[in-house]
A = this chain, B = another copy of it.
Amino acid sequence: MIKIAVLGYGTVGSGVVEVIARNQAELSGSAGEEIKVKYILDSREFPGDPNEDKIVHDFNIIVEDEEIRVVCEAMGGTGDAYLYTRRALEAGKSVCTSNKELVARHGAELMSVARERQCNYMFEASVGGGIPIIRTLAVALSTERIEAVTGILNGTTNYILSQMESEHADYHEALARAQRLGYAERNPEADVKGHDACRKIAILASLVSGRRVDSEKVYTEGIDGIKPEDFAFASKLGMTIKLLAVSRMSENGRLFCMVAPFLLPLTHPLASVCDVFNGVLVRGNMLGDTMFYGRGAGKLPTASAVAADVADCVRNQNRTIMRGWDSETAELYDIKNIESRFFVRCAEEDRNRVREVFCGEDKTEGFSLEGEYGFFTPVMKEEVFGQKRDMLGEAVKGSLRLMSE
């Protein structure tokens, strides 16, 4: 029998305890041994809780207990979560986590400690919730040259955009609905500004490239500027709008990452990923496109991913299975050199002037809708587009990049 500890008895932590209890048979079958939760670390008391007797308040009890082979970190943040993770790994105990912030910031270092101590730092639950995307990139597709990873990695923003599309809600109504349903936090900034998706794509890009991608260096736009007019034009175009997190090898072999809302055709594999679901499209040089789709968040899907990591740690005792990435930060390709086509909206009366600035000699026609005019620009660099947009100021009502492939 293998004994484990869970750090934090909040949503994810209690989910882990629940999944381990409910799927005991599957878990033991997969791990090859029975798995039992011995301690739950939390500063609070839980009188009357069926696991009351497992609650401890001192991490030393856990780290000093030789019986504990695996620790599930479900505390969040980069303070105590970091210290406890490091100490557990130094003590040769594997750690499984859903803490994307910690993985994005200290993953390279923690995996290197795990390697030294022949244990594992696992983080399947940190990206894509129940979608086994970490394992897929680290193992199943590890013999592919990954050319691009494009993901809908944040369920909150995907729900808001889906509501704006299907219910013709404006951004604030859709956000309020998401908050009522518990899909968005009271302070939704980390989601709607794209920071959550950004941390997740930084983890996937690190895994694929083998070098640490600093999420703070990833160009990130949120969805709070998306208007009902954007969806009205998208609908006419046979397209939809999604917040995409993109990691791609540029032609010169430099990694390029960004998070932004994109227009994409309804035939695109990610177009049908709606509501709180997540999807990740991976392009390999031999495989072509594969896509993985599932619940990106939620107590049980996230906890299930942690439980799968626990089973993997038990199967692989004294053996490090994650390759990890260098702690040296990857230099990213500058966004100003990235080329895209943009869809631009302006007032009907400004159409000639705005079109002229962006399209020059290109005579591709746009179309009018409810007093506005919208059109696609030719392919141009971000830097050039930005200059033109700045020059036009308020005359540009909105713009979106096109994800064509």
Q: Which residue of B lies closest to A300 (CB)?
A: B286
Contact A308 B135 (CB under 8 A): no
Chain B residues lying within 8 Å of A284, measured Cβ to Cβ, are 130, 304
Please measure, in the bound complex, the distance between the C-alpha atom of A256 and the C-alpha atom of B19, giving whole angstroms.
Answer: 25
Contact A311 B130 (CB under 8 A): no
A1-43 vs B: 1/0 string, CB under 8 Å? 0000000000000000001001100110111000000000000
A262-292 vs B: 1/0 string, CB under 8 Å? 0000000101100000000000111111111
Q: List 24 A-B contacts (CB under 8 A).
A: A19-B143, A23-B143, A23-B286, A26-B142, A26-B143, A30-B143, A31-B143, A130-B287, A132-B141, A132-B290, A135-B139, A136-B136, A144-B304, A286-B303, A286-B304, A287-B295, A288-B300, A288-B301, A289-B294, A290-B292, A290-B293, A290-B294, A292-B293, A293-B293
Q: A136-B132, A136-B140 are in contact. Are A287 and B301 (CB under 8 A)?
A: yes
Q: How far is the CB of A351 from chain B (nearest CB, A)?
A: 34
Q: Which residue of B lies closest to A288 (CB)?
A: B295
Q: Which of B289, B290, B308 contacts A141 (CB 8 A)?
A: B308
A129-155 vs B: 1/0 string, CB under 8 Å? 011100110011111110000000000
Chain B residues lying within 8 Å of A323, measured Cβ to Cβ, are 29-30
Assess whether A312 is interfacial by the CB under 8 Å rule: yes
Assess whether A218 is interfacial by the CB under 8 Å rule: no
Q: Which of B22, B31, B292 contacts A286 (CB 8 A)?
A: B22
Tally chain A residues at the interface, Cβ within 8 Å: 48
Assess whether A307 is interfacial by the CB under 8 Å rule: yes
Q: Which of B19, B130, B292, B311 contacts A142 (CB 8 A)?
A: B311
Given contacts A30-B142, A143-B308, 12 further A-B contacts (CB under 8 A): A26-B145, A124-B140, A132-B290, A136-B140, A142-B308, A143-B304, A143-B310, A287-B295, A287-B301, A288-B294, A290-B292, A292-B292
Q: Which of B26, B287, B300, B311 contacts A294 (CB 8 A)?
A: B287
Q: A139-B135, A140-B135, A145-B23 are in contact. Are A130 and B290 (CB under 8 A)?
A: yes
Q: Which residue of B lies closest to A307 (CB)?
A: B143
Q: Which residue of B lies closest to A20 (CB)?
A: B143
Q: Which residue of B lies closest to A301 (CB)?
A: B287
Q: Which residue of B lies closest to A272 (CB)?
A: B272
Chain B residues lying within 8 Å of A26, measured Cβ to Cβ, are 142-145
Q: Which 9 A-B pairs have the closest CB atoms?
A: A290-B294, A132-B140, A30-B142, A286-B304, A291-B293, A130-B287, A286-B300, A272-B272, A143-B307
Q: Which of B143, B210, B286, B293 contacts A301 (CB 8 A)?
A: B286
Contact B29 A142 (CB under 8 A): yes
Contact A143 B288 (CB under 8 A): no
Please measure, in the bound complex, the distance between the C-alpha atom of A136 and the C-alpha atom of B287, giving whole angstroms.
Answer: 16
Please measure, in the bound complex, the distance between the C-alpha atom of A284 and the C-alpha atom of B292, giving whole angstroms.
Answer: 15
Within 302-329 of A, Cβ neighbours of B (below 8 Å) are at: 303-304, 307-308, 310-312, 323
Please measure, in the bound complex, the distance between the C-alpha atom of A22 and the C-alpha atom of B286, giving whole angstroms.
Answer: 9
Please measure, in the bound complex, the distance between the C-alpha atom of A19 and the C-alpha atom of B27, giving whole angstroms.
Answer: 35
Please measure, in the bound complex, the distance between the C-alpha atom of A300 and the C-alpha atom of B136, giving whole angstroms.
Answer: 18
Chain B residues lying within 8 Å of A271, measured Cβ to Cβ, are 272
Q: Which residue of B lies closest to A27 (CB)?
A: B143
Chain B residues lying within 8 Å of A124, measured Cβ to Cβ, are 140
